[in-house]
Structure 1
Amino acid sequence: MGERKIIQVEDKVPFKLLVPLSIQHMFAMFGASVLVPFIFGINPAIVLFMNGVGTLIFMAVTKGKAPAYLGSSFAFLAPAGIVISKMGYEYALGGFVVVGFCGCILSFIIYKCGTKWVDVVLPPAAMGPVVALIGLELSGSAASNAGLLDASPDMKNVIVFLVTLGVTVFGNILFRGFLSVIPILIAVIAGYITALCCGILDFSQVISAPWFAIPNFQMAKFNLGAILMILPVLLVITSEHIGHQVVTGKIIGRDLLKDPGLHRSLFGDNFSTMISGLIGSVPTTTYGENIGVMAVTKVYSVRVIAGAAVLSIVCSFIGKLSMLIQTIPGPVIGGISFLLYGMIGTSGIRILVDSKVDYSRSRNLTLTSVVFVTGLSGIAVNFGDVQLTGMVLACVVAMILSLIFYVLDKLKLTNDREEE
């Protein structure tokens, strides 16, 4: 009786709902997405532009069946940072283009081979903890954004964080009607007003910013050494993409690996990264923050996400508006992220529950245990300049272990094999 109405993927949304829901999605991705260009030392306007364009490309490729917002990828930070320091940002762009192109080729291979291999290398006992780790390993960044991990946390930041988190949590439980679908947006506004009252906002850059500004487009340059340094990231982003598609599918109640298909979503993701590199932006990826928004609000409409993409493109050309959004303080982003990341973690547990994983079987207990410990232990494995850690390393370990179990099963060597 008190269930919140679900707005499905293909549902049309009235304009009076579309605008605030789209703004909510844009705010959710903004904090993390603009951090990448700041680290690379480029203007975030080009990233806002490509995030919007990339999202629209992704929707076109997936035929509007896979709700996902594409934001800046963190997977490229380490190798791209080395390339930038040695050769310059243009050569990192060349690496982004090649990774995106190779990802598109991989999507065609998956199209020919199908996705049954996913069930073999990532059974529910492995997929559940891998998906949970997507949210759990981000929990530290939520606390860091809020300033809670500082040696002496500023009480102003703590107050802003608590107000934002409080509105997010209790709004999700108490809001009704129209307000029940925009708790994240209301929390951002409440946190922003609190930050203003606490005096931690600085509008000097907003005042000095021009009203109209064209994003800083630049061309990619290619160097074999730079490409080889960045190319191994393809493994990382592919693992991340599969995890995101699975968790999104669980949230909306559909198998996105089958329809529109992993090959389509992977192609859309990597094609966007390739275009990003060609015009001077950073690689894109489906965003956990926006998956969390869908889990909280039960609004899955691709029209809403398309609206957020259009708003992001518009913001990239309006200097003052872009700069105003950048003034959203870390404690506000951290406050909403606490719940959003937790929702992703919970979706991983839901996979285990929905799949009725039998933990009386040794393999299931072993898989889940090893994956969780690998992902949360802080272990890192380096291949040249590419580092596998957290969820990505856990995913690789899960795939290898599951494949070994599958082979042992076929050889009839396991002691918990299901009788045929």
Structure 2
Amino acid sequence: VDFSIIHSSPWFAMPAFVAPEFNLQAIIYILPIAIAPAVEHIGDMLAISNVTKEDYLKKPGLKNTLLADGLATSAASFLGGPPNTTYSEVTGAVTITKAFNPAIMTWAAIFAIILAFVGKLGGLLATIPVPVMGGILLLLFGIIASVGMDTLIKSKTDLADPRNMIIVSIILVFAIGGMTFNFGGVGFSGIGLGAIVGIVLNFVLPKTKHFDGF
């Protein structure tokens, strides 16, 4: 592990703020990509509702959470920052820590913003080896998959039905297996890709007329 980046990083560092710029080509390019995080947002809301035993689809409501996600992304864009999304990794972290209180998330966000100005902390995080981060993500994404399966079971989805089995298996392979599709320079991967594929398969595959199970 190379710790030289910590010594070279300043204690106080300002983020690189960039003024927004209207670019029609960029807007057209990003529109298809926006579908994936929107679908991922819905899946994350279902998962976090299942974990916390609170129905966030009703309160505050899916339309409000999507609106907040969009407003946060717009605010970040005005400062030259990356778009925001409901990271599925956070759902896995919440499942492990059992920190369900929204106040905890609020204070965590405030501290994260403050710590973003500490350059040496950024340098310290940069020293974490890639295999270590990979191991953490392996655990978090595995937990997300477990939460999803638990949601299907509680909703009494027949996973022995060949149609459901095909949809679930392909979603798992695409989302967790790291499948990536590129269409004209636009890339889809991860949970967003898995969700889109699952929705398409749900519409395309014919429903089983009669199935008695194994």
Q: State whether TM-score is above 0.5.
A: yes
Given that 2:11 and 2:119 are in contact with CA atoms closer than 8 Å, whether structure 1 keeps it comes out as yes
Q: Secondary structure at the match of 2:202?
A: helix
Are 1:357 and 2:151 matched, yes or no? Answer: no
Aligned to 2:209: 415
Decide which of 391, 396, 399 is 2:196's aligned counterpart: 396
Decide which of 345, 367, 371 is 2:145's aligned counterpart: 345
Paired AA for residue 337 in structure 1: L
Are 1:287 and 2:81 matched, yes or no? Answer: no
Aligned to 2:39: 239
Q: Report the Cα distance in structure 1 between the residues aligned to 2:23 and 2:129, rounded to whole angstroms.
A: 38
Q: Report the Cα distance in structure 1 between the residues aligned to 2:135 and 2:198, rounded to whole angstroms.
A: 32
Paired AA for residue 51 in structure 2: I
Given that 1:245 and 1:256 are in contact with CA atoms closer than 8 Å, whether structure 2 keeps it comes out as yes
For residues 168-183 of structure 1, what are the structure 2 equivalents within 5 Å? none
Task: Quote the offset at 1:233 in angstroms.
Answer: 0.9
Paired AA for residue 339 in structure 1: L
Task: Quote the offset at 1:303 in angstroms.
Answer: 1.8
Given that 1:363 and 1:416 are in contact with CA atoms closer than 8 Å, whether structure 2 keeps it comes out as no
Paired AA for residue 157 in structure 2: V
Given that 2:178 and 2:190 are in contact with CA atoms closer than 8 Å, whether structure 1 keeps it comes out as yes
Aligned to 1:188: none
Task: Quote the offset at 1:211 in angstroms.
Answer: 2.7
For the structure 1 residues 297 and 376, does the alpha-carbon distance in structure 2 shift closer, same or farther, using more than 3 Å as the test?
closer
For the structure 1 residues 263 and 210, does the alpha-carbon distance in structure 2 shift closer, same or farther, using more than 3 Å as the test?
same
Task: Quote the offset at 1:352 in angstroms.
Answer: 2.2
Task: Quote the offset at 1:375 in angstroms.
Answer: 4.8
Percentage of matched positions with identical amino acids:
36
For residues 105-184 of structure 1, what are the structure 2 equivalents within 5 Å? none
Task: Quote the offset at 1:361 in angstroms.
Answer: 4.2
Decide which of 10, 25, 28 is 1:228's aligned counterpart: 28
For the structure 1 residues 209 and 255, does the alpha-carbon distance in structure 2 shift closer, same or farther, using more than 3 Å as the test?
same
Mark the structure with the bigger radius of gyration: 1
Q: Secondary structure at the match of 1:220?
A: coil
Q: Report the Cα distance in structure 2 between the residues aligned to 1:323 and 1:377, rounded to whole angstroms.
A: 30
Aligned to 1:384: 184
Q: Report the Cα distance in structure 2 between the residues aligned to 1:278 and 1:403, rounded to whole angstroms.
A: 37
Given that 2:5 and 2:123 are in contact with CA atoms closer than 8 Å, whether structure 1 keeps it comes out as yes
Paired AA for residue 61 in structure 2: G
Given that 2:173 and 2:179 are in contact with CA atoms closer than 8 Å, whether structure 1 keeps it comes out as no
Q: Report the Cα distance in structure 2 between the residues aligned to 1:209 and 1:377, rounded to whole angstroms.
A: 35
Q: Report the Cα distance in structure 2 between the residues aligned to 1:392 and 1:383, rounded to whole angstroms.
A: 15
How many aligned positions are there? 211
Q: Secondary structure at the match of 2:188?
A: strand
For residues 64-103 of structure 1, what are the structure 2 equivalents within 5 Å? none
Structure 1 residues without counterparts, runs of 5 or longer: 1-199
Q: Secondary structure at the match of 1:387?
A: strand
For the structure 1 residues 290 and 390, does the alpha-carbon distance in structure 2 shift closer, same or farther, using more than 3 Å as the test?
closer
Q: Secondary structure at the match of 2:156?
A: coil
Q: Report the Cα distance in structure 2 between the residues aligned to 1:400 and 1:281, rounded to whole angstroms.
A: 32
Aligned to 1:334: 134
Task: Quote the offset at 1:295 in angstroms.
Answer: 0.8
For the structure 1 residues 343 and 370, does the alpha-carbon distance in structure 2 shift closer, same or farther, using more than 3 Å as the test?
closer
Q: Report the Cα distance in structure 1 between the residues aligned to 2:30 and 2:43, rounded to whole angstroms.
A: 21
Q: Secondary structure at the match of 1:312?
A: helix
Q: Report the Cα distance in structure 2 between the residues aligned to 1:368 and 1:318, rounded to whole angstroms.
A: 43
Given that 2:179 and 2:190 are in contact with CA atoms closer than 8 Å, whether structure 1 keeps it comes out as yes
Aligned to 1:160: none
Q: Report the Cα distance in structure 1 between the residues aligned to 2:60 and 2:139, rounded to whole angstroms.
A: 29
Aligned to 1:215: 15
Task: Quote the offset at 1:279 in angstroms.
Answer: 0.5
For the structure 1 residues 364 and 279, does the alpha-carbon distance in structure 2 shift closer, same or farther, using more than 3 Å as the test?
same
Paired AA for residue 318 in structure 1: V
Q: Report the Cα distance in structure 2 between the residues aligned to 1:320 and 1:380, rounded to whole angstroms.
A: 34
Task: Quote the offset at 1:382 in angstroms.
Answer: 4.0
